[in-house]
Copies of this chain bind each other. A is one copy, B any other.
Amino acid sequence: MARNLDKLESMVGYHFLDSRLLDRALTHRSFSAFNNERLEFLGDSVLGVIVSAILYRLYTDSEEGELTRMRAQVVKKDTLAQIARRLQLGDHLKLGGSAAKGGGTENDSILADALESLIGAVYLDAGLEQAQITVEAVFEEELSAIDPGRTAKDPKTELQELLQSKGLLLPKYKVESISGSSHEPDFVVSCYVEDNQLVQTGTGSSRKSAEQAAAKKLLLILR
C-alpha cells in the first residue's frame, strides 16, 4: 500500500528509523490485532512526563494543583484531537469495519489515541529526548496558550471549593439513568447540594461528563 507517510513525517518533524513503528501507531484496533493500543499505553505516559517537566520548569511559582490543571488542559482528548487534525493524522489512519464506515477518521477518541501512539512510537524509535523535541514542536501552540492564572478548574472542583469556602456540605451526585448501548451510553446525573435543597441534572456520554454538566449548572445558580 502506498500511503504518503513522508508528508506526515514532515508535519511531525521527525523521520522514523523504523517505519513499522509509525505504521503501527496509525493502525486502529478495528483494522488489525497488530494495532496501536499498546503504543497508546506507552505514549500516554511519555506525553505525561514531557508535559509535566515542561510545566514544572516553566511555572516555578505554580503549585501542584495548578500544574495538574495545566497538564490536564494540554493532554485532554479535545486538545489531542485538535493537534491530530492539524497534522492531518486522520488521512493516514488504518481503520476497519464500522470505524472505517462511520467516519472514524473524524472521531476525537481515535485521533487522540493515534497521536499518543505516535508519541510512544517516537520514544521507542529514538528515545525520550527526541520525543520531547517532537512534543515541543507539535504542541507548541497549545503549550504557549497556557496561562497559569487562567487555567479553568473543572466545574466539579469549582463547585466543591465554593461549597467548602461557604462551610457547606459536599455535593452529592446520583446517576438517574443510563440509556444507550454499553458501548455508547448516555448518562443522566443529578447533583444535590445543601442537603438536597438544590438539584440540577446533567447529561453526558460518561458519568463524569454528566456530573460535570450538572455541577456547571449549579455553579451558575450559586454565583
Give this chain's copy count: 2
Separation of A178 and B173 alpha carbons in the complex (Å):
11
Q: Which of B41, B48, B52 contacts A56 (CB 8 A)?
A: B41
Q: Judge whether A45 is part of the interface by a CB distance below 8 angstroms.
A: yes
Separation of A207 and B164 alpha carbons in the complex (Å):
18
Asked if A56 and B68 sit within 8 Å, CB to CB, the answer is no
Q: What residues on B are CB-neighbors of A62 within 8 Å?
A: 38
Q: Judge whether A49 is part of the interface by a CB distance below 8 angstroms.
A: yes
Q: Which of B42, B67, B169 contacts A41 (CB 8 A)?
A: B67
Asked if A52 and B63 sit within 8 Å, CB to CB, the answer is no
Asked if B38 and A67 sit within 8 Å, CB to CB, the answer is yes
Which residues of A line the B interface, CB within 8 A?
Answer: 37-38, 40-42, 44-46, 48-49, 52-53, 56, 62-64, 67-68, 123, 128, 164, 169-170, 172-175, 178, 182, 185, 207
Q: Could you show 19 A-B contacts with beta carbons less than 8 Å apart?
A: A37-B63, A37-B64, A38-B63, A40-B64, A41-B52, A41-B56, A41-B64, A41-B67, A41-B68, A42-B56, A45-B45, A45-B49, A45-B52, A45-B53, A49-B128, A164-B182, A169-B178, A173-B175, A174-B174
